[in-house]
Structure 1
Amino acid sequence: MNYEKLAVWQRAVGLSADIYTETKHLNDFGFRDQLTRSGLSVPSNIAEGMTRSSHKEKIRFLDIS
């Protein structure tokens, strides 16, 4: 299955982009970095999980995301 067609992945990518946009003016760089990295981890884990060959590994990555 192509993860890019998943509605949850599309929403997570949109949220990640929104986080980058809304935090670009924050002066607390550590906080901004933590927010943007955590926002990007959701679609990244979905994508990685969908590329795994075993069902168990896919579920693990989806659970992490």
Structure 2
Amino acid sequence: TRPRGTGLGLPIARRLAEGHGGELTLTGAEPGVLATIVLPQIAIPDPEVHASSEDTRRN
């Protein structure tokens, strides 16, 4: 909604989203545009499960 800009913001945001396996979509919304970034969720390993599997390998 700024009158001036470099025009690089959306292309950079799109490349970042796609680089992480996501997507950037634009939807018309008055008085401007709605930008939505969707990124995939990754599973974070449970530290307790990781520790117990290492203990098993040591024995």
Q: TM-score, normalised by structure 2?
A: 0.31
Question: Which structure is richer in relative contact order (CA contacts within 8 A, separation 6 or more)?
Answer: 1
Please state which structure has a larger fraction of its residues in strand. 2
Kindly indicate which of the two structures has a greater share of residues assigned to helix. 1
